[in-house]
Amino acid sequence: MSRAYNFCAGPATLPEAVLQQAREEMLDWRGTGMSVMEMSHRSDEFVQIAETAERDLRELAGISDDYAVLFMQGGASSQFATIPLNLLGEGGSADYVNTGIWSKKAIAEAKRYGNINVVASAEDSGFSSIPDVSAWQTSADASYLHYTPNETIGGLEFDFIPDSGSVPLVADMSSTMLSRPMDFSKFGLIYAGAQKNIGPSGLVVVIIRKDLLGKARRETPTMMNYQVIADNDSMYNTPATYSWYLAGLVFQWMKAQGGVEAMGAINARKAKKLYDFIDTNDFYANPIDPRFRSWMNVPFTLADDALNADFLKGADARGLLNLKGHRSVGGMRASIYNAMPEAGVDALVQYMAEFAKERG
Ligand code: PMP
């Protein structure tokens, strides 16, 4: 059986070379007589796997020693609570920017722990554009400023890093992490659920400036305390070892592709191809302000919703899978993360053109 082009938003397609390597190493990892899944997390072998993954991630993303890199569990959603518990302090307040569904979830959870100010919202534009920074009602004494650089469902992406002054900038990079070069030194904390550009779901990578460690509130569960996780090299409890290993394989694959610079160039090309096609074909539409269109998640609608089911059926038949839009917004969505080959985007565009011609 040949592999399909899987446009799922997450868990998402992984590089075929990574899956091949994982298969080859499955039963006997480098002469140990066992799979990585069966190894003690305290073994020399696994510690080596874990350290290599962290080193490669630091190298890829350009993360300095001022930051701790944590491999945590519970997905990106668990961070919605973990962040305020660690950074808000007793009676503190934090600023949040609302650009869509994932921002809203982060805001709703943070509100359980303190005074949360929504300093800007894309709601007025129907979440189709980033609110003008000059109108953000940020506060200089906020514990942090949180935003979502890429809204996976809406397909709305920042093309800049907000300047938060001396307030630590916190970003949910789940669906944009490692998609292009980014200056991580501008952030206090970033987090990313792994199941898009990094590896299997459940794992969440947290990169935190070390001066922000040690500020957790007293009631913070031990497993959610960044200081504890950092002090224990992300092995306070049994980590998600196999996911960590697989993330490491993805990082090695990315390095072999030429790192984030090369990925960024390919991703820009893939996104441009798809948006250019949508813009020049009356049958399809994407509602996002062109400046803020996501490179990773491309939502689009057909001229007639009654054709959605046929469109998806035809796509499936060609091995173009998971194009159905999120249930909250409808339409279609093509997620084109790092591991989606350019040929996948070409095949999608070709199918879209043919479908429009036949049914439009
Ligand atoms: N934030 C963003 C931007 C996401 O895209 C997602 C998942 N699609 C999440 C958070 C939640 O991630 P998880 O399912 O790993 O909790």
* Cβ contacts of 277 within 8 Å, gap of 6 or more: 284, 349, 352, 353
**Quick check: bond before 287 cis, omega within 30?**
no
- pTM over cut 0.95: yes
What pLDDT sits at residue 190?
98
* Burial per residue of 2-13, b for 16 or more beta-carbon CB atoms within 10 angstroms, e otherwise: eeebbbbbbbbb
pLDDT at 187: 98
pLDDT digits over 111-121, tens only? 999 999 999 99
pLDDT band at 360 (very low <50, low <70, confident <90, very high): confident
Would you say the CB of residue 77 lies under 6 angstroms from ligand 1?
A: yes
Interval 217-263: pLDDT, tens: 999 999 999 999 999 999 999 999 999 999 999 999 999 999 999 99
- Domains of the chain with bracketed CATH: 17-257 (3.40.640.10), 258-359 (3.90.1150.10)
Candidates 72, 77, 151: which one to mutate for ligand 1, based on the most atoms within 8 Å of Cβ? 77
* Nearest CA residue ID for atom 9, ligand 1: 76
Predicted ipTM of the assembly? 0.99
Give the pLDDT confidence of 267-285 residue by residue, as tens digits.
Answer: 999 999 999 999 999 999 9
The pLDDT tens digits for 29-54 are 999 999 999 999 999 999 999 999 99
Average confidence (pLDDT) over 170-191? 98
pLDDT score of 2 = 84
Compute the average pLDDT of residues 18-23.
98
Cα 355 to ligand 1 centre (Å): 31
Q: Ligand 1 center to residue 171 CA distance, Å?
A: 12
According to the model, what pLDDT value does residue 1 have? Answer: 57
Is position 172 annotated in a ligand binding site? yes
Which pairs with CB-CB distance under 8 Å and at least 24 residues apart come from 107-115?
108/80, 109/77, 109/80, 109/81, 109/84, 110/80, 110/81, 110/83, 110/84, 110/146, 112/81, 112/84, 113/81, 113/84, 113/85, 113/88, 113/217, 114/84, 114/88, 115/91
**pLDDT band at residue 86 under the 50/70/90 scheme:** very high
pLDDT at 88 over 80: yes
Q: What average pLDDT score do residues 143-170 get?
A: 98
pLDDT (0 to 100) of residue 329? 86
CA–CA distance, 222 with 216 (Å, rounded to integer): 10
With contact defined as beta carbons under 8 Å apart, do 190 and 207 qualify? yes
**209 CA distance to ligand 1 middle (Å):** 22
Residues known to be catalytic: 102, 172, 196
Residue nearest to atom 12 of ligand 1 (CA): 76
Residue 152 Cβ inside 6 Å of ligand 1? The answer reads yes
Atom from ligand 1 closest to the CA of residue 202: 15
Q: Is 175 in the pocket of ligand 1 (CB under 6 A)?
A: yes
Report the percentage of the chain scoring pLDDT > 90: 97
| Nearest residue (CA) to ligand 1, atom 3 | 174
148 lines ligand 1 (CB under 6 A): yes
- 45 CA to middle of ligand 1, Å? 31
- The residue-averaged pLDDT of 88-115 equals 96
User: Ligand 1 atom closest to Cα of 148?
Assistant: 3
Q: If pLDDT is split at 50, 70 and 90, which confidence band does 91 have?
A: confident
